[in-house]
Chains A and B, each alone.
Chain A
Amino acid sequence: MAKWKLFFGILILFTIHLPSFSQIVISGRITDSTHQPVQDINVLIYQKHSGIIKAFSISDANGRYSISVDLSSDSLDLLLSSIHYERIKLTIPNQSRQLDFVLKHDTKLLETITVKAKPIDQRGDTLSYLVELFKGREDQTIEDVLKKLPGIEVEESGKILYQGLPINKFYVEGLDLADGRYAVISSNLPHEAISTVEVFEKHQPVRILEDVVYSPQAALNLRLKKKVAYTGSGKVGSGIEPLLWDINFTPMLLTTGLQFLASYQTNNTGDDVSKQLQQLIQDDRAVFPLRPSETIQLFDGSDNAQYGAIDPKRTLNNQIHLANLNILVPLKKDLQWRANIYFVDDIRKNQSLKEHTFYLPDDTINLKENSYSKQNHRYLEGSFDLNRNTARNYLRNKTRFTLHQEALHDRISNANDTVNQFTSIPFNSFSNALNSIFKARKTLIEVQSLLQYDKGPQELLVSPGRFETLINDGIPYAIALQTATLERFFADHYLGSTFRRKRWDLSLRAGFSMRIQSLRTNLSRGDDLSLTEAGASFKNHFEVRQYQIYLIPALQYKHKGFRFSLDWPFNRQQLQLTEMVNTPSQTSIKLLQAPKFSLNYSFSGFWEVSASWYYLERMSDPDYFYASYILKNYREIIKTDVFMQHSNQHLASASISYRDAITAFFNSFSYFFSQRQMDITYETQLQNDGSFVVAARQMPNTTFTHHLQLRSSKYVHALKSSFSFNTSFMKHQGKTLANNELFDAATMQYSLSPEIYYQTTAWLNFNYKMQLNVMRSTINGDLRNQTRINKHFFSVNVFPKNNQMLNLNLEYFKYRQNGYNFVDLMYRYKLPKSRFNIEVRWNNIMNSDVFIENYGYQFTVVSHSQSLRPSQFLLSLKFTF
């Protein structure tokens, strides 16, 4: 026992005393010669003569330091070092003690040194993306690679976004070959030809404006691997039931000087390749505020507008051929010449069932129509431009022509009869836009000039003829032929300049425009053998001259989170109408204003509020003035014989948002209001067959729109899921004059849409969304119709391997006790180490044949059943060369 006690006693003694033999504490205070404490002095303890640091301390704000040392040697080396004081080196005994130091100033000038040469290219790989690093095995075109670059997104239309904003130029070796229609390049250019993708952030494409106009958008530039690249891509695809084809051949020659791209594409698989020709970059240097519409369409032929959220590839029954040629040639003196020519021939067939319900105060009229349509769009468009873009001046002259042909045939049947409608709506246009920017002393002056001429001799034939009472004294007749020719000339010139002072921006633009146009329309009726004119009340022949002098001042103030802007355009408009048939000419002169005011304030890092108000005064567009009746389609005949209609509109909005990134909780709420006052009201005379006669009456009418929207989303970390909830409410109301009755018509719509997104792993994610839409129509306050559609969406994406992708989409919706199902499956496989890519698609697996959507306007509700492409299986092979 005693032995044990002794043993423990010794052990305890050792335990307590052992460290005290070796662990010592050296502490003290460091001051300078004025007795002020000195901070940040390194106090180091080295094992004697070894140069190995065993312990250290750094003096605190009171100059105090304290070091615990655990060494067995009898003495230690101590070093005091810092930049601003002398260096002290001592050898001290290995004992706890207090050591105070008084240091003298001795600033050591640490000279510039380079540790080792490891220069990072300032432009670095963070700015220029090396395609080599980002390309995946499954990628073929440069667009596929662009989708992967951090900060870059590519939308379905091919539009490229950088940091959420659309790019404002797409260059290859600094040259803009496609003039904003770049999808034809990005979706066909093999990535193998490209070495780097460069992003020019905040890019101002007009060089002389580089010091003046801020652009938040970026531009993309592709650098070629070789100086001359002859490349391209192709696709051959085929399917069954019926025979399907999908062919693409797009060769291109890209160099640092001359560039060329040609493309031929054709398919009948529902892929609207003409979308590649879409202008993805709005040329904002060529926007004229008062320019007439770019197309002429006097008749409303088959209406296949998409109102709902169905993928057009599901419904489009097409047969398209597309040819495209782009050439860019650099000339002398910084000039460039470019030509872009497009040709499209597209045949579309469509079948749909439309149920119109017209709600009148004491009557409800139902019209069911089955329509079959065949459309042939054919157009040739070209633009040629000459461009000089230097830091000293900017010059661009762009000449454009369009030859457009559109022939539509609709066969519409209802319970009683069948109507055939042939519409031919060709038009040709020619325009020239000149834009020049130069410096006069320190002020930048911009000059713009636009000349535009277009003509559309168009025709509508309806058989058998309708509106017998109005047109043919109530006697049925075989054919109604409506002809209409619109010819327009427009010229606009302006001068503009911008001034800047600290937080204020002021810009001023002054211009003059002239628009001269003539419209001739005539309606004939008859049988197959002979046609006779329907008379003077169905004939328009007049000329409109519109002169406008405008001044557009704009003011903007920005400071911290606050921004305010005010635009106040003034426009003196003179409209002169000369009628060749009936009355003498009339002239109206008006001063129109359109002030626009907006405020935005963000605060405390989470909140943002904004408000705006816009008041707009307008004169009627001369395109929509018809002194006598014109047949617009088989169901509508219209007359707007009130001269110079005038309207004004108030638009106001307010929104508030709270976005907290820490809790991943995002909310926004917005309200929008519009009040529009017109000095005319359209009167509709609804016929028993569902057709209507529309005429303008000189009677003021005010319409109101309210729109509320709430969006909320939250990411729940524990569930690895995002939850979101969107809801909206919209109400549109106004007076309607139909069948000699004036009544209030209101349409109300609301929707609720919860959604969940779940990402399990990098190779699997899925999404579920429910959407409930309710639409209510009221006439004089009585509820006349209510429709409810409940839709469910589910999609799964699986990436089993890097070169494989599987996508499954399910859609289910319920409408009037009927359920509708859509199932699509897609699998993509990239052959390893080759330029071939195989894609298998099985669309519409359940073979659903219709898609139903509802929309409403004024007192009408339409239920539209759109026939779909049948279940189809398509195998395609894509390649690059």
Chain B
Amino acid sequence: MQKHITIKIVTVVYFVLIISFHSFAQFFDIPTTVLDRANLKITYAMAWKQDTNNLEYTRREEMILLVGKKISMFQSKNFYQFCSIGRKAEQEGRLDGFLNGPEIGNFKTRYTYAIYKNYPAGSYTYTDKMMPGFFKYDEPFDVINWKLSNQVDTIGAYVAHCAFADYGGRHWVAWYTTDIPLNDGPYKFRGLPGLIIRLYDDQKHYSFDMVKMERFDESTPIELPDRGWVHTTRSNFLRAEENFRLDIIGRAKSAGASSETQQAAVRNMMKKNNPIEF
């Protein structure tokens, strides 16, 4: 008798599980707005220390800057490739092949944000996904004020000039070269009379070094995916990020993680205690 009831309850639980696990992957082939076209791609090696208690551990990733006539875009290289190759695969109807292919692991990234500079004019737009939504915010360029320094150095084959700026709670040091007459750079930084080829904060927790510049004859579009963005402000976005870090136990719990897993998640998240801005 009891068995029948148990079976019934199991069925009920099973069904509840089935419906609650219907969360769907977001695929690539979504409408976009073409903001500009680029035929210059600059690659930076980004290195950062995620844990202030373990400064010996440095993580690395490559970031790219696509430079258009008016607008540029800065993004993780892996994430950019993941999206663009994924979209191509999806358009050709071989999305699953791509997602399951051996090369998929090459696209792993820690950063999914994109920074569009001079969009809207005179401002940059920052976009990122943060569970469960997609967020964007913009700020005018003048939030970053450069102070020039007399220091000159050579980086690679370039003569680089030095400049300082305070932004997001860090003191930044930029080295730019007038040999590349672009006023752009990594992350949100721009507005120097030459390309920023090296950028780091004075504690050297975050650094960006240009590794190469590539020109392609056929221009590539700079696109803003039409994600149904939630428009917010920088301070709200940072608050959301911080809340996510601090409330990791709540998120893990709501995802149904066991208490041991929750503790592991906290210990893990405590190690990601060094965001680029705060």
Contacts and interface: CB of A to CB of B under 8 A. Distances in A.
A109 B242 contact: no
B193 interface: yes
A662 B237 contact: yes
A115 B210 contact: yes
A300 interface: yes
A113 B247 contact: no
B234 to A, nearest CB: 11
Contact of B239 (A112, A216, A606, A717): A717
A144 to B, nearest CB: 10
B85 interface: no
Contact of B191 (A58, A154, A705): A58
Contact of A58 (B22, B130, B183): B183
Contacts of B15: 614, 651, 653, 672, 674
Interface in B25-44: 25, 27, 30, 40
Interface string B232-274: 1000110110111011011111110111110111111010100
B180 to A, nearest CB: 6
Contacts of A211: 94, 96-97, 100
A114 B194 CA distance: 17
B1 A606 contact: no
Contacts of B97: 210-212
Contacts of A561: 228
Contact of B230 (A119, A150, A606): A606
A828 to B, nearest CB: 13
B169 interface: no
Interface stretch (A14-22, A123-131, A533-541, A783-791): A123-131
17 contacts: A39-B70, A42-B178, A53-B193, A116-B211, A123-B105, A125-B59, A125-B60, A148-B264, A201-B105, A213-B96, A659-B131, A662-B239, A666-B251, A674-B15, A684-B1, A717-B239, A759-B246
A199 interface: yes
Given A111-B215, A211-B94, A857-B1, 8 more contacts: A124-B60, A155-B258, A200-B104, A651-B15, A653-B15, A662-B236, A663-B239, A684-B1
A541 B80 CA distance: 68
A710 to B, nearest CB: 13
Interface string A582-602: 000000000000000010101
B261 A150 contact: no
A79 B261 CA distance: 60
Nearest to B243: A664
A614 B242 CA distance: 41
Interface string A51-69: 1111110101100000000
What size tier do the contact residues of chain A reach? 35 or more
Contacts of B64: none
Nearest to A114: B212
A713 B250 contact: yes
Contact of A54 (B1, B148, B212): B148
Interface of B: 1-6, 8, 12, 15-16, 19-20, 22, 24-25, 27, 30, 40, 45, 53, 57, 59-62, 69-70, 78, 93-97, 99-101, 104-106, 108-110, 121-122, 130-135, 148, 150, 152, 155-159, 161, 178, 180-183, 191-194, 197, 209-215, 228-230, 232, 236-237, 239-240, 242-244, 246-247, 249-255, 257-261, 263-268, 270, 272
A707 B132 contact: no
B194 A42 contact: yes
A365 interface: no
B12 A707 contact: yes
Interface string A35-58: 000011011100000011111101
B254 A666 contact: yes
B230 A110 contact: no
A674 B242 CA distance: 41
Nearest to A52: B150
A214 interface: yes
A235 interface: no
A692 interface: yes
B242 A42 contact: no
A692 B1 CA distance: 10
A873 interface: no
A560 interface: yes
B255 to A, nearest CB: 5
Contacts of B93: 500-502
Nearest to B260: A156
A469 B246 CA distance: 67
A201 B104 contact: yes
B106 A127 contact: yes
Nearest to B4: A682
B181 A82 contact: yes
A209 B152 CA distance: 57
A662 B183 CA distance: 33
A186 to B, nearest CB: 14
A153 B97 CA distance: 27
Given A115-B211, A604-B228, A216 B25 contact: yes
- Chain B contact residues: helix, strand, loop or mixed: mixed
Contact of B244 (A44, A198, A664): A664
Contacts of A799: 267
Nearest to B82: A201
B133 A605 contact: yes
A676 B104 contact: no
A720 interface: yes
Contact of B16 (A148, A155, A672): A672
A213 B98 CA distance: 10
Nearest to B93: A500
A682 B96 contact: no
A120 interface: yes
B272 A42 contact: no
B3 A653 contact: no
Nearest to B247: A715
B211 A715 contact: no
A605 B240 CA distance: 14
Contacts of B246: 715, 717, 720, 759
Given A53-B161, A110-B40, A720-B246, A605 B22 contact: no
Interface in A309-332: none
B105 A42 contact: no
Contacts of A757: 249-250, 253
Interface string A832-865: 0000000000000000000000000110000000
A78 to B, nearest CB: 11
Contacts of B2: 300, 303, 857
A227 interface: no
A52 to B, nearest CB: 5
Contacts of B243: 661-664, 715, 717
Contact of B265 (A81, A109, A153, A199): A153
B106 A120 contact: no
Nearest to B100: A204
A762 interface: yes
Nearest to B151: A52
B5 A150 contact: no
Nearest to B239: A662
B104 A202 contact: yes
Contact of B19 (A114, A126, A149, A598): A598
A147 interface: yes
Contact of A83 (B110, B182, B247): B182
A600 B60 contact: no
A563 B22 contact: yes
Q: Which of A44, A203, A213, A661 has the most CB of B within 10 A?
A: A661
Contacts of B236: 662
Contacts of B182: 83
A113 B249 CA distance: 46
Nearest to A856: B5
B100 A53 contact: no
A666 B257 CA distance: 16
Contacts of B161: 52-53
Contacts of B19: 598, 610, 612, 653, 655
Interface string A61-93: 100000000000000000101111001000000
